[in-house]
Structure 1
């Protein structure tokens, strides 16, 4: 082994530098030949196809053949060469599998990211028609009442739609802008619902330095209106609060329920959508709790947001 690993220590045994370099080159060619056969023939054709027994036999055979061709008829040299080839082949295999695992992991990460981006795009696009449908219902109700505020509401809706279309192109928006969007939407709904619904909206804490995924909060507000004030002619209430504590954003929506409310088996597309988006965008950094009691429907959302740059 020492004769092979420390060939430079025995340079004086050779008659010329030429013979020494040829000797060194022959060992390098033998070693690289066995490694090449293992990596590009044996592993793809046998190991990767789970023919482990056949792979082992062929690998041992290639090591023995390489040692035999290099050192025969010196059997001591053959044994030394076999030991050296086992060492170099094992080291090469470790490097090969480490590199391949890194490539596979990177490819899987890229596929997962692509899948996540595609799913988020699909979920975000679902919000567009859902929000537009609810907004057009508001205008339709006002037009039937022949309200003088209908033109102003149409202008409000156009501003809301402009924000929605612009935010749909972004991954995140300023939290302050998102809350202003909610406030304008509530003003529009307040006009439609007239005096039969009392809407309270409060913001506590400094939200100017934080960002959030666009159109993430609106489904909770729409759900409160749809299953609260919109489903009854009774007096109803909607209480919405947004609070920032350190880097955690707390969002709470509470709506009263009609006395003769019909239990729904589904929460609707909007809440299913937002649940999925939260899991994709804020994994392990959000808590969503929904309490559906006899008199009220409460949503509590907490998200750990990072300060925007």
Structure 2
């Protein structure tokens, strides 16, 4: 990265010198007859370009880093003006002229100022690019961390289902183990991707609910409604499962009473409207586990769909409701 930046800096400055020299030669071409020879004309214009560029380079690579960036502005100003005075003097050294000196000095002010503007503009662009790259890397690291949190969280809940069935000595336990293996396969494969088909993600939710229904027997009535055209739409993987897990945890799993969970996923104008409503029991079996799912998914939504989602959570006396809208075109 450093070598590339240094190479780019050298190329830009060499290119600027060549361009400036060509502009000086072309701008003074009509006056070339005033010189003793063509070589004298080219030598004069080249030396003119050298003086200008040397002053600019001294400013860029010495004065700005050592004095300006360290907020030693007064000393920076004195040295910059001094370097321009010296440059103007060296240019007219062989043919001294007050008018020529001031012309050269003010021309140096103009070119150095233009060079400074270009320098700070490029530097700010590089800083913004580096900051954007850092933010991108930080975002990717955080998203990977959040994804990794979902994996054991989901596995823990699924193993609880199998444990419950095994304690009941249910003949469906082997089948449930196979279903869980399919769910885990999808979960592991999808976690490596940035997005998956919405259709596949909703099928995953359906299969997970089927597994949970077997464990909960007839204590929980689940309704899952899907509406709209899903074809081609994609969503970040494992983004919706925490809402379903939360509904189970604070509904059917926390009581022996009958409970209900109503889930709907509707697509309108490429926007997913996802809703989960679960009944709340009158008596709750306290869990020692503290859920991370909702906080995790809130953070992921903010990172993945900034200004492109709306999340509303209502915790009422008899029901818990989640309404999520995501613009899937983002």
Q: TM-score range by the shorter chain?
A: over 0.9
Query: Relative to structure 1, is the Cα distance of residues 263 and 88 closer, same or farther in structure 2, using a 3 angstrom cutoff?
Result: farther
2:63 to 34, 39, 42: 42
Change (3 A) 1:4 1:178: closer
Contact residue 176 and residue 211 of structure 2 kept, 8 A: yes
User: Residues of 2 paired with 1:145 and 1:301: CA distance?
Assistant: 36
Number of equivalences:
304
1:255 paired residue number: 278
Identify the residue that residue 191 of structure 1 maps to in structure 2. Answer: 214
What is residue 301 of structure 1 aligned with on the other side? 324
Q: Mark the CA change 1:157 to 1:51 in structure 2 (over 3 Å): closer, same or farther.
A: same
Which consecutive residues of structure 1, in runs of 5 or more, have no partner in the other structure? none
Aligned: 1:159 with 2:162:
no
User: What TM-score comes out, normalization by structure 2 length?
Assistant: 0.89
Partner Cα distance (2:196, 2:315) in 1: 30
Q: Secondary structure of the equivalent of 1:54?
A: helix
Secondary structure of the residue aligned to 1:128 is: helix
Deviations 1:124-171 (A, max 9, x none): 011110000000000011111111111110000000000001001100
Mind listing any 5+ residue stretches in structure 2 that lack a counterpart? 1-23
Describe the SS at the equivalent of 2:320: strand
2:297 counterpart residue number: 274
Correspondence for 2:42 among 17, 21, 24: 21
Tell me the CA shift for residue 260 of structure 1. Answer: 2.8
Q: CA deviation at 1:263?
A: 9.5
Instruction: Mark the CA change 1:9 to 1:262 in structure 2 (over 3 Å): closer, same or farther.
Output: farther
SS in 1 for 2:128: helix
CA distance in structure 1 between the aligned counterparts of 2:255 and 2:313, rounded to whole angstroms: 21
SS at match of 1:250: strand
- Partner residue in 2 for 1:87: 110
Give the superposition deviation at 1:9.
2.5
Please tell me whether residue 141 in structure 1 is matched to residue 134 in structure 2: no
In 1, distance between residues paired with 2:285 and 2:270?
38
Q: Which has the higher contact order (CA 8 A, sep 6+)?
A: 1
Map of 1:103 onto structure 2: 126
Structure 1 counterpart of 2:201: 178
Partner of 2:16: none
Q: Distance in 2 between matches of 1:51 and 1:153?
A: 72
Distance in 2 (alpha carbons) for counterparts of 1:179 and 1:117: 24
CA drift of 1:102 comes to 1.1
The answer for the alignment partner of 2:4 in structure 1 is: none
SS at match of 1:50: coil
